[in-house]
A and B are shown apart, each in its own frame.
Chain A
Amino acid sequence: MSASPLVDIRGLEKKFDLTGSLLEQISFKNGRFQRKQEAVHAINGVNLQVFRGEALCVVGESGCGKSTVARTIMGLLSPTAGEVHYEGKRIDTLEGKALLPYRSKMQMIFQNPYASLNPRMTIQQTLEEPIHFHHPEWSKADVLNKVQDVMQSVGIDPDWGSRFGHEFSGGQRQRIAIARALAVDPEFIVADEPISALDVSIQAQVLNLMMDAQESRNLTYLFITHDLAVVEHFGTRVAVMYLGRVCELAPTKALFATPRHPYTQALLSAIPRLEDGRPNYIRLQGEVPTPVDLPPGCVFHGRCPYANDRCRQEIPELFATDSGGQVACHGVEEGRL
């Protein structure tokens, strides 16, 4: 791991406006005009560093902001506040031509291969498009070679190029989606739940493919998932997110051996394992609060069995623990947990 991170996210925040235009915000109540603004706080101050060659996994339940983080890094969403740096250069403010070189260095793989491939394009066209776009000077033969190359590397027969997406199974489609990402020789790939829509036996195939590609091309991954069993297998480091915040960040081994944050502990205990016996999980009280009205203090305090007054008022920051990770929890900091 090199000292300077490949991707550096600083104080990232993203809000999605719920109320729309000014006129929609104004209402007449009790003889007075009132203006009400509501927003979904999808990410609230996330700091993450991705180092070259690693696979950083971001886990969390639906609505925790993990996909928003992925999309903001890729520039598909612009952050409300905070910065995204790539190789030391700030990229979230770049536009148009200035952003182009980064677009080919960073690629994304989406969750649903049924939706992410254009149904009206053949596989050949799908794979040629990014190459044409980033290397307009390449000759036809060069492009063709490249396409055949990536198809072979993901285990899709190059002769199938004239087929359309619907002619392939889910696993094959996801291979094609991976091939499309690899076509421009990226160094950093953001994968947003790439295997969640696939069957178990196919999941293993795609995970193996991604690991092979990482080895042969020296890729760096940001892997978004809700499946902790996959993380244990795939990730070098894990960031656990809850309600738009990172609550624990640790090397995979340390996280699975000694989870520190109460939420991480509950999450780990909920994985259905093959071992004998009944599910022996930590019961959390209540439900995830809405990201429209965030609770004050630690976002997890409403469900945390160890919450005290400080947790209800003060937002915990990440701090380094002795097991090599970072955790945002007052209880751990005070030595109560």
Chain B
Amino acid sequence: MALLEVKNLNVRFAVRGGDLTALRGISFSLDKGERLGLVGESGAGKSVAAFSILNLIAQPGYIAGGQILFEGKDLAAMSERELRKIRGNRIAMIFQDPMMTLNPVLTIGTQMVEAIKAHRRISTKDARAIAVDKLRKVQIPSPEKRLNQYPHELSGGMRQRVIIAIALLLDPEIIIADEPTTALDVTIQAEIMALLLDLCEQENVALMLITHDLGVVSQVSQRMLVMYSGRIIEQGPTREIINDAQHPYTQGLINALPQMGEPGARLFQIPGAMPSLKNVPTGCPFNPRCSFATDECRSTMPDYVRAGNVDVACYEVERLIAQEQQAREVAP
């Protein structure tokens, strides 16, 4: 059984003039110790997906259907009290901006001890010892001293290390990291990513990494999901998708990267922009930007088909597979 299994999750936002659907039936699973990448552009719903796992989506958002099974128990149906035992304890979360996540008026030590004491009956002294141990794990120099410092005394990279240390405090099974390095410089980003990777491997923690950076995903994750307009349009082993993407959107996303193009030549570009939630086109949400779109794409939402080890929601891929099969049947 998978550690975390999300089944047909729907999330909506109740706004004036009707509900907006932010997630439209997404399903995926995460195994113990696995590293899963979640890619998409802004507005694709990747952060909503991450937040809804821990039932953290704020009003007016709500989970409209589906299950989030963590070790077989449905987080979506749990009471707030039960959920609190899991949040931060079994499933930890790392957010994008380290300055926003740390409380500016409390020392690092206070915040770490608070987090431990919320879940365990333990003396302050022991809690501080755990805090120092975790700070050392994230390679923060002189951790005892850091406990008495305030967040503003640390640099951006150091702050993100503290956040990772806090996420690790209670030895969680899953860490959900929402764009953990986006606010950081390239050299610091590389360091933090390598650190996160090492720690997850050492402690056998499953990592769900949400990012818009395909480069990061391809280096860190074993499997990846590509989201577009509230749907998972492609999911499978990272290498398979990066080397041979099936969905036209994923292909476009990869080919649009400057590192894929000939220096100085025009870059491949996907025309248009992602539709807003207010007017998602009928059928496949990508159809207005897709060069393969047919009437079928414009009228009904494609279901998932299997290409190799990858699940894709695209009629064009379905057609190609059918053609191949036909060719194979004719050939012998």
Chain A contacts to B: CB under 8 angstroms = 61-62, 169, 171-172, 199-205, 207-208, 211-212, 226-230, 232-234, 252-253, 266-267, 269-279, 281, 283-284, 287-288
Contact = CB atoms under 8 A, between A and B. Distances in A.
Nearest to A169: B273
B159 to A, nearest CB: 12
A204 B219 contact: no
B108 to A, nearest CB: 17
Interface in B130-189: 155, 157-158, 185-189
A201 B248 CA distance: 12
26 contacts: A171-B273, A200-B256, A201-B252, A201-B270, A201-B273, A204-B267, A211-B264, A211-B266, A212-B266, A228-B186, A229-B215, A230-B258, A233-B267, A253-B263, A266-B187, A269-B190, A270-B190, A272-B213, A273-B219, A274-B254, A276-B218, A279-B190, A279-B194, A279-B197, A279-B219, A281-B191
Give 6 closest A-B pairs by Cβ, nearest first.
Answer: A272-B215, A233-B258, A204-B256, A199-B41, A61-B185, A270-B190
B190 A272 contact: yes
A274 B212 contact: no
A309 B218 CA distance: 41
Contact of B187 (A203, A234, A270, A278): A270
Contacts of A277: 219
A198 to B, nearest CB: 9
A233 B256 CA distance: 11
B239 A229 contact: no
Given A61-B185, A227-B258, 15 more contacts: A199-B274, A201-B253, A203-B258, A204-B269, A208-B266, A226-B185, A229-B258, A230-B258, A232-B259, A253-B263, A271-B186, A272-B189, A272-B213, A274-B260, A281-B187
B292 interface: no
Nearest to B213: A272
Nearest to A195: B258
A278 B197 contact: yes
Nearest to A62: B185
Nearest to B193: A279
A254 to B, nearest CB: 12
Given A200-B212, A272-B213, A207 B187 contact: no
B242 interface: yes
A64 to B, nearest CB: 9
Summarize B's interface: helix, strand, loop or mixed: helix
Contacts of B188: 61
Contacts, number: 123
Contact of A274 (B41, B218, B266, B274): B218
A205 B258 CA distance: 11
Contacts of B3: none
A269 B186 CA distance: 9
Interface in B185-211: 185-191, 193-194, 197
Contact of A233 (B216, B219, B263): B263
Contacts of A208: 266-267, 269
Contacts of B274: 199
A273 B193 CA distance: 13
B257 interface: yes
Contacts of A271: 186, 215, 259
Contacts of A212: 266
Contacts of B42: 199
A178 to B, nearest CB: 15
A275 B97 CA distance: 28
Nearest to A172: B273
B266 to A, nearest CB: 5
Nearest to A284: B187
Contacts of B187: 61, 266-267, 270, 281, 284
A38 B185 CA distance: 26
B214 interface: yes
A18 to B, nearest CB: 16
A273 B269 contact: no
Most chain A beta carbons < 10 A, residue from B186, B254, B268: B186
Contacts of B186: 61, 226, 228, 267, 270-271
B157 A287 contact: yes
Interface in B253-296: 253-254, 256-261, 263-264, 266-271, 273-274
B217 to A, nearest CB: 8
Interface string B283-312: 000000000000000000000000000000
A200 B257 contact: yes
Given A229-B258, A252-B263, A272-B216, A202 B273 contact: yes
B54 to A, nearest CB: 26
B215 A207 contact: no
A276 B194 contact: no
A230 B186 CA distance: 13
B258 A270 contact: no
A274 B257 CA distance: 10
Contacts of B242: 274
A288 B261 CA distance: 32
Most chain A beta carbons < 10 A, residue from B191, B193, B257: B257
